[in-house]
Structures are given as C-alpha cells and as structure tokens.
Structure 1
C-alpha cells in the first residue's frame, strides 16, 4: 500500500495524523543525516502495526513530501 506523507522534523511531539489523502508525521529528530527519515519509518511502523522493515520510502528521501510503501 502506497501512501503520501509530509514529514515535519524538529517537532515538540511525535505523532502520525491523517490529513485528507495524506499523513502528517511529526518527529522530534532533525532532518540531518537521515535521522528524521528513520524516525518517520519508526512512527509509521508503530501506527500501522508492522515491522520497520516493511516501511520503504519510495521517493522524497531529501524532501518533506514523501511516498511511502507499506508491505503487509
């Protein structure tokens, strides 16, 4: 299942929120050295109750807007 995600790094809280046809993922980590991407994967895995290895960022590794594939 592919979903559209907007990552928001440097947030005070960590959460996954459905907004229309995409998900907002707020993470505390900064966008440096892939830390925010790893946090996005971790939070999405918790939200969808799948292993972190089942979450793949298809596009947007260096962008706040991402396409993520969730393997079930």
Structure 2
C-alpha cells in the first residue's frame, strides 16, 4: 500500500454554491493523514475566496474546526 501524506490544502473558491462541497472534499482528502497522525482538521478562511484546510494537533482527533482570519 502506498500512502502519500498531505498536511494542508489551499483552496480558491470563487462561487458560493461550490464552497461547501469543495471544503467537504478537502476534509475528506486530509482524513487519512489525520487518522495516521491522530490530529483534527482546521479549515481557515484567509480571504473572501481563499481557504486553507490543514491537519492540526490543536483540533481534537476526529473533529473539524473552522476559523476566519481576514
């Protein structure tokens, strides 16, 4: 089995209608790495159209948290 670790994804989402599904897909993409590391996932909105989804030891294992920084 080949495992490629992914720690973060930067997403540019221009259309509100695509926001939820795109962010859900990003969290699913990070899930395997989160399980291996026993971290949660933090989704940070850094601008009106830019989001960063990343593994975070500060988020409880199995959880996803959202934050806004703009």
State the TM-score bracket (shorter-chain normalisation).
0.3 to 0.5
Q: Normalising by structure 1, report the TM-score.
A: 0.39
Larger Rg, first or second structure (1 or 2): 2
More strand by share: 1
Q: Normalising by structure 2, report the TM-score.
A: 0.40
